[in-house]
Amino acid sequence: MAVLAGCGATQAPVSPAASPTTSPGAQAPAPRTTPDGTLLVADFGADTVSFVDPVRGAFDRVKVGTAPYGVAVGADGRAWVTTAEGVAVVDTEKRTRPALIPYKTRTGPATTGEYRGGGMGIALAPDGRHAYVGVNVPGGDGVLEVIDTATRKVTGTVPVGRRPFDVDVSRDGSEAYATGHDSFDVTSVRTDTLRARRMEVAPYGTEGGLGSWLKPHYAVVRPSDGKVLLPFEGERLAVLDPRTGKVAVERMTANTHQHGAALAPDGTLLVVGTGPIASDDEEASLTIREPNGSERVVKLDGPHEDVAVSQDGRTAYVTGGFTRDGYWNGITIVTLDGKTPPVRLAAGERPLGIAVL
């Protein structure tokens, strides 16, 4: 386990993986209470999710399916995890997988790696009744699949942009937003009619096409006005108004390739910098951007991918499972007040998506 200077953390032994299913007629495993504040991470380098104590490290894992990517957790404690095979439903209290919901969209064989087919971004409706899943179709446009969380059935499909890295939902649940990485766009989908509008988000232009680095990755919905925020390269924050399709650009300061994004309860924007893609770029970092636009940049040791925030809004958890080369098997813990240095905690296998239980 790598530890930053002046910081230390120990990893608890990892218990055997919980059984993903219960055989007919078999005695169900005894319930196991998962503590509040536990981290749930998608192990893109394995077929599991890991349960992680933010102090002691990983303490359990559950098999979910090939190459897990995104995670969304409902108020009922169920987690919805996108994999190459389907969306896994995880009971986070019992730490079991009661279901795997196959996609309606054909995505080819279940494989691993950055360009694998299957689910990527995922979000839940505010009332928890539907999950919205961005499905990557190698070589073609992606699809947003709608899952009824009660019946665990796919009830609708909508074409969206290529490689939907992220999916977000408006605060009132009326729209879902799929970020198309390889098509430089966000698709807004009405959740009642499934009518879709694709809106270009390309503050650097679209020159270079599939070979360009300057594409959208992850997004958040700003609570104050419902606009969609997409960070680019630690230099530009694209602010998309989904009502008009217009994009404004605000300045950022990290000067590094950026991926994951999350909002703290007070509206602070957190953005993961993965490291340089050009000779004059800075190393990996976490940008802490206040609602007034002021920023503090925290240096990270090596590439990271996604970020989640503690319930009290004081701590960020940044996964080290970068989608490209250079990933590591752990999480960096960053206190947002800056009073203590970041701590690296070994956890999971190439962890990407993360949620706080």
For each of the chain's 357 residues, which pLDDT tens digit applies? 232 222 333 333 333 333 333 333 334 454 578 999 999 999 999 999 999 999 999 999 999 999 999 999 999 999 999 999 999 999 999 999 999 999 999 999 999 999 999 999 999 999 999 999 999 999 999 999 999 999 999 999 999 999 999 999 999 999 999 999 999 999 999 999 999 999 999 999 999 898 899 999 999 999 999 999 999 999 999 999 999 999 999 999 999 999 999 999 999 999 999 999 877 899 999 999 999 999 999 999 999 999 999 999 999 999 999 988 889 999 999 999 999 999 999 999 999 999 999
Cβ contact 174:192 at 8 Å: yes
pLDDT of residue 8: 30
Return the bridge partners of 354, or none: 41
Q: Which residues contact 263 (CB under 8 A, 6 or more apart)?
A: 220, 222, 223, 269, 270, 309
Name which of 260, 168, 268, 270 is nearest 216 in CA terms: 260
Backbone angles phi, psi at 62, to 5 degrees: -135, 135
pLDDT of residue 280: 87
Name which of 136, 215, 125, 137 is nearest 177 in CA terms: 125
In degrees, rounded to 5, the angle at the alpha carbon of residue 164 between the alpha carbons of residues 160 and 165 is: 160
Measured CA to CA, the distance from residue 270 to residue 336 in angstroms comes to 10
Measured CA to CA, the distance from residue 357 to residue 348 in angstroms comes to 16
CA distances from 119 to 138, 215, 280, 342 (A): 11, 19, 34, 31
Measured CA to CA, the distance from residue 245 to residue 175 in angstroms comes to 14
Cβ contact 84:155 at 8 Å: no
- Residue ranges and CATH numbers for the domains of the chain are 60-356 (2.130.10.10)
Cβ contact 147:161 at 8 Å: no
Name which of 63, 94, 93 is nearest 81 in CA terms: 63
pTM: 0.90
